[in-house]
Structure 1
Amino acid sequence: MIIAIVNTKAGVGKQLSVFLGLAAKWRGFSARISDLDRQGSCFSWAREATDREKGFPFAVISATATDIERLRFPEGVISIMDTPPGSPREIQSALDVADFIIIPTSPKPQDVARIIPTLDAIGDKPVGVLLTHVGFNSKLYIEARETIENWGVETFRSCIPEKVDIARGYGRVLQKLYGYDDVLSEIVNAFGDEDEL
């Protein structure tokens, strides 16, 4: 299964790819991240964790749009593509091969509004919006979910809380996943059969 993480707005959930990969690994899947972002935040995370903890539990590769066109995506591996904002070629290369797209966004109105150009780029592929940096009792969260669903766009039932511990997880192999494991469960359940992923 190929999952693309896509948003045209920077800084709304870059740790999503790594946490989702860890969730897949701890659930018993094989996982791989293709980091298409020139900043290489996923690749740097894995390298730092490898230095600190003597290894990382799955492959993270630095890739370009041209690489994606040539890469093989083996069956039975959850392949996650982390795309950069403002890089149409990389985003499109990921969308072309993805089975499922996740759009992460904070509940801030200006971030939610940026979902629309992202949706325009996606077309008819299966997509889910994941609300991140959420205060669970916040009015912003409730309004954001209502706005997105009123557009006819699916949102994950799970959301990712605003926690300092998540940001502090950079460069580490974490066991606690702060709801990202629930996000993976929703994806698995939506596709119906773990053997088909």
Structure 2
Amino acid sequence: MIIATINAKGGVGKTTTTMFLATVFAQRGITVAVTDLDRQGSALDWAERAEDGGDPLPFEVELSIPKRIDRQAALVADDEMMFIDVPPGDENAIEAAIAVSDFIIMPTRSAAADLSRVWELRDAVSGTPHAVLLTFARKGTSALEAAREALEAEDMPRFEAEIPLREDMHLAFGYCPGPDMHGYDQVADEIMEMMK
């Protein structure tokens, strides 16, 4: 299965989502690889820092470019998973990732400005199973409730699990995620349920 994490906006938790979910599935015994399409190489940097710190990730991370992604996708076996960390605002990378994906995750904060970028991708992802993941969620806030209502009104699929705003998630960069997966284990369960 190939899963891309996309949003036209930066700072919404795409790389964090990719790395936590890849860890969840790897811990469940699935062979996982991460392809980093971001020129900044955030996922690769995360993996290298973890390796250098003696806390390696349970999967490989490879830096790539959009025109190579279909070749890499063709090598993914039926019992394996590839996650694609897609940079914001790079139309070529977004289109290439969507074209090879079996499932698309669109992380977003609950702010209206962030949600507006999700609407821009609606047509592009319509032919592929997908769901919006609310990240940096502050429980009990009107912004979070408004985001839920907006997604429902627009008939956009979304995960029931929401990723909380937690400082220790920011501190996970450069380390193997866990033991607290901050709701990403539930996200993984929901993906598998949606793909049945």
TM-score by length of 1: 0.94
Q: 1:92 aligns with which of 87, 90, 95?
A: 95
Runs of 4+ in 1 over 3 A off after TM superposition: none
Aligned Cα RMSD in Å?
1.1
Quote the Cα distance in structure 1 between the aligned partners of 2:170 and 2:91.
27
Quote the Cα distance in structure 2 between the aligned partners of 1:53 and 1:119.
41
Q: Does the 8 A contact of 2:7 with 2:106 survive in 1? A: yes
State how 1:100-111 maps to structure 2 within 5 Å: 100-111=103-114
What displacement does 1:39 show?
Answer: 0.7
Quote the Cα distance in structure 2 between the aligned partners of 1:56 and 1:100.
23
What displacement does 1:74 show?
Answer: 1.9
1:123–1:50: structure 2 CA closer, same or farther, 3 Å change rule? same
Residue identity matched to 2:40: Q
1:115–1:54: structure 2 CA closer, same or farther, 3 Å change rule? closer
Task: State whether structure 2 residue 127 is matched by structure 1 residue 115.
Answer: no
Task: State whether structure 2 residue 10 is matched by structure 1 residue 3.
Answer: no
In structure 1, the residue matched to 2:193 is 189
Quote the Cα distance in structure 1 between the aligned partners of 2:38 and 2:21.
17
Structure 1 gap segments, 5+ residues each: 193-197
State how 1:24-63 maps to structure 2 within 5 Å: 24-53=25-54, 55-63=56-64
Partner of 1:188: helix, strand, or coil?
Answer: helix
Residues 64-100 of structure 1: CA distance to partner in whole angstroms, max 9, x if unpaired?
0121022122221111011011111111111001001
Quote the Cα distance in structure 2 between the aligned partners of 1:70 and 1:165.
36
Residues 7-45 of structure 1: CA distance to partner in whole angstroms, max 9, x if unpaired?
001110131100010111112211111000001100100
What displacement does 1:47 show?
Answer: 0.5
What displacement does 1:123 show?
Answer: 3.0
